[in-house]
Structure 1
Amino acid sequence: MNTDTASMTMPPEAAAAPVDRITTFPEPTRRHAEGSLAALGTQSWIQAWRLTKGWIGSPLVTIQALLYPALTLIMIWIVLGKSISSVTGQSSLAGSVPMMALVGAMSGSVVSGVTLMRERKNGLLSRFWALPIHRAAMFFGQLLAEVGRVIITSVLMILVGVALGFRFTQGFPAGVAFFCIPLLFGIGYSTMVTAISVYSEKGTMVEFLSLLVSLMFFFNSGFVPLMAYPQWLQPIVANQPVTCAVEAMRGLTFGGPVAEPLMKSVAWSVGMLVVFAVPALIGYRRAAQKR
């Protein structure tokens, strides 16, 4: 009762003061036009950090992008390591470490695709679209987050591989090029996953991409030597994107041909980026505008 009486006796200026404090905003210290490159860069980094923090707190991402590749690498070394080494005369880690770095990139992209579909369904993309931000910031932010995740996965595979006996024997520049291959492959594959995610339903997308990851995992030269596959299947296995990347990474670490598999790997990665980038951007726009 006393509070109500006091509020009724307050002068109009005092009653309006709290409203002024709430509705008065500080002047912005940085101003970028909505469609400027500066806005795109800044907002893409913000989006990438938002996604990365979400992935860090997600057990599913940790399992798919880190634990699953690391444990699979160890199991392949235990079960097939000696057999592959006796046949090829080279450590099985020369193929399995690059292979699991690539598989980790693909598996993590599937999880990020599921996250994107969830945000599309609950309307978060639409809320972002209503904000005065660059229209491509969401897409490029996701690619930046994927790059960070692929780097972490690749570093983990290298650490596990080194503990098992994996070594770089071709020098520092070759080691740097080794890391660039899964990064480029991860960007291309993530673009494809994004394009699929913004157009399809969750169940269909997960089933298709899981099947694709399984096929690429079991049918590449990093899993078993190319000669172990049926002769009619060898040309397909030799030219699929994971095999091309594995062979280029093998040459950069243990020696061997690099130029041809590297060109094929770059062609696959850039091809996925070129083919799926525009559909992914258009799909992002339609998903965000959908009410």
Structure 2
Amino acid sequence: MSVVDTPAVPESSAPSAVVLDLPEVSARPESSPVAWAVHSWLQCKRLLMAWLRDPATTIQTIVYPALTLVMFWIVLDESISSFSGKPAVYGTVPMITLIAAMTGAVVSALAFKVDKATGLLGRFWTMPIHRAAGLTGRLLAEAIRVLATTLIVIAVGFCLGFRFDQGPLAALALIGIPILFGIGFAVFITAIATITEGPVLVQIVGLLTNLLLFFNSGFVLVQAYPTWLQSTVANQPMSCAIEAMKGLSYGGPVAEPLIDTLLWVGGVILVFGYPAVRGYRKAAETSG
């Protein structure tokens, strides 16, 4: 048997290795502040996209507040305006923005319960994601939702006679009040959602929302309530925020009601912040 010599392949014709120019990957620990910010924003985007695809959330965010404002304007505007001597829309617009912030937070809390029941919270908890990102991302999404609702309600209010008579800076401050109010209420409702089961959450918050809706200075003037109830109505959180928003739009006292609003929001976050964080952690660990 003859051995056939295989011709040597020239080095120039040999296949060269392919060098890929890949970007450098900077691995950050999941507990770093940068990871917290990035993961919170991703969680926020996830919630916003889910809400945009849900017709019930769209109705709750856009249709319901706008129709409620128009209904109040048709039914109560003339009687309240004649009684107070001021256009009633300067009270009803702030009131509807705050009510929308609260009712929207309830929808978010129900979605949180769904995430827990389906095990989604548990899956996120086992992934290399910052532990606080789930809660802070939810609060950030709430703030964006409240901002969108507030702008829509104000746009409808403009068609009914609402104006920013105190300038652009006052207008920006007015828009910020419902956002702060909504964040405080979202912390409260998250704490409640982690310790209640079934329809209890809706019943509790529905009762609270109805009480605040019919006993505040945006619905009618404080002087229209019985004397023994006026102090309670004037100092409840919605009335403080409404009076601050009135002052920032139509004119009037701003400092005192604004400080009272900040105290209310800060107090709610201080009291319910830890239960919300602890409850969220427990819900994530036992999810599924």
Both structures adopt the same fold (TM-score exceeding 0.5): yes
- With normalisation by structure 2, the TM-score equals 0.90
Q: 1:120 aligns with which of 116, 120, 125?
A: 116
Alpha-carbon distance in 2 for matches of 1:94, 1:61: 26
Give runs of aligned pairs for residues 1-291 of structure 1, distance below 5 A: 29-290=25-286
One-letter amino acid of the counterpart of residue 69, structure 2 = L
The CA deviation at 1:41 is 0.1
Of 148-157 and 224-233, deviating more is 224-233
One-letter amino acid of the counterpart of residue 79, structure 2 = S
- The number of equivalent residue pairs is 266
Of 189-198 and 56-65, deviating more is 56-65
What does the per-residue CA deviation read over 1:128-172, in whole Å, with 9 as the maximum and x for residues that have no partner?
101011000000000100010000010001100001111010011
Distance 1:30-1:70 versus aligned 2 partners, 3 A rule: farther
One-letter amino acid of the counterpart of residue 167, structure 1 = R
The CA deviation at 1:28 is 7.3
Alpha-carbon distance in 1 for matches of 2:64, 2:228: 31
What does the per-residue CA deviation read over 1:213-232, in whole Å, with 9 as the maximum and x for residues that have no partner?
11111110101111111111
The CA deviation at 1:27 is 8.2
Of 224-233 and 103-112, deviating more is 224-233
One-letter amino acid of the counterpart of residue 151, structure 2 = V
- For structure 1, the 5+ residue unaligned runs are 1-25
Q: Which portions of structure 1, spanning 4 or more consecutive aligned residues, are displaced by more than 4 angstroms?
A: none
One-letter amino acid of the counterpart of residue 66, structure 1 = I
One-letter amino acid of the counterpart of residue 174, structure 1 = A
- With normalisation by structure 1, the TM-score equals 0.89
Q: Give 1 or 2 for the bigger CA radius of gyration.
A: 2
Of 86-95 and 65-74, deviating more is 65-74
SS at match of 1:91: coil
What does the per-residue CA deviation read over 1:156-208, in whole Å, with 9 as the maximum and x for residues that have no partner?
01100001111010011111110111111111000111111111113001110
SS at match of 2:228: coil
One-letter amino acid of the counterpart of residue 263, structure 1 = I
The CA deviation at 1:62 is 1.6
Higher helix share: 1
One-letter amino acid of the counterpart of residue 249, structure 2 = T
Alpha-carbon distance in 1 for matches of 2:278, 2:57: 26
Work out whether residues 46 and 141 of structure 1, in 8 Å CA contact, stay in contact via their aligned partners in 2: yes
The CA deviation at 1:259 is 0.9
One-letter amino acid of the counterpart of residue 285, structure 2 = Q
Cα RMSD (Å): 1.2
What does the per-residue CA deviation read over 1:52-91, in whole Å, with 9 as the maximum and x for residues that have no partner?
0111111221222221111110011111001111111110
Work out whether residues 146 and 186 of structure 1, in 8 Å CA contact, stay in contact via their aligned partners in 2: yes
Alpha-carbon distance in 2 for matches of 1:270, 1:89: 34
Identity, % of aligned positions? 49
